[in-house]
A = this chain, B = another copy of it.
Amino acid sequence: MKREYERSLAFVKGRCTVVKRQARGRQRIREILDAALAQFAETGYEKTSTNAIAARAGMSPGSLYQYFPNKEAIADALSQRLLDELREAHAAAFDDTAVTELPLPDLVSRVVDPLVSFHVTHPGAKVLIGERGQPLHTGVADRVAALLRARSSESPDDDVRRSSAVAVQIVAALMGGIVAAPEPERSALVHELKRALTGYLNQPAGL
């Protein structure tokens, strides 16, 4: 019986080889990523040991290292998976036609709201941003930049890029508190975030 297998990399005896992943293996990768996300959320990236991830995923350290060459690769793959989920959640906000006409507060809400619910349902995502580089950051920043360019086509490109980078950093900065806060306060903080963004983006550039 012929079957189709996803080709992917395995890391056995210190060597990187190409293997035909079985269904079991693909499931294992998902389990590792799930465990890593939960563990990162609890203890942060640096303080999370790979042995703890393996234990949480119900496997031995050796099994874990058949699917990832090192700890960093786990975080990278996790960032990628989260970024994909985020892109999907954001599709409605970004892939629309009439972004140019929409009032700024509405536009901000359309971008911020899915972002908030994404981070609320994935409380570990913020440590992949906070403690490690910017893989999630840049993914969003690029799309925000494109959106801003569409709205104010006469602004110089550097200004647009800077504005979107700043806006993304503001969102990232407040997201931690938003996720951590209990519900009555959380809504208030989301409201403040939107106020900050609209206030920032509304202003004429020459102040």
Asked if A196 lies at the interface with its beta carbon under 8 angstroms from chain B, I say: yes
A163 in complex: contacting residue of B47, B192, B194, B198, CB < 8 Å: B192
Chain B residues whose C-beta falls within 8 Å of the C-beta of A174 in the assembled complex: 166, 169-170
Nearest opposing residue in chain B for A202, CB measure: B199
Q: For residue A189, which residues in chain B have a CB less than 8 angstroms away from its CB?
A: 162, 166
Residue numbers in B under 8 Å from A172 (CB-CB): 173
Give the number of residues in A that approach B within 8 Å (Cβ atoms).
Answer: 29
**How far is A170 from B200 in the complex, measured between Cα atoms in Å?**
11
Collect the chain B residues with CB atoms within 8 Å of residue A162's CB: 188-189, 192
Rounded to whole Å, the gap between the CB of A173 and the closest CB of chain B is 3
Q: Is the CB of B207 within 8 A of A192?
A: no
Nearest-CB residue, chain B, relative to A170: B170
Enumerate chain B residues within 8 angstroms of A130, measured Cβ to Cβ: 130
Report how far A73 CA is from B189 CA in the complex, Å: 33
Q: Say yes or no for A195: interface residue by CB 8 A criterion.
A: yes
In the complex, A207 Cα to B105 Cα: how many Å? 9
Chain B residues closer than 8 Å to A46, beta-carbon distance:
46-47
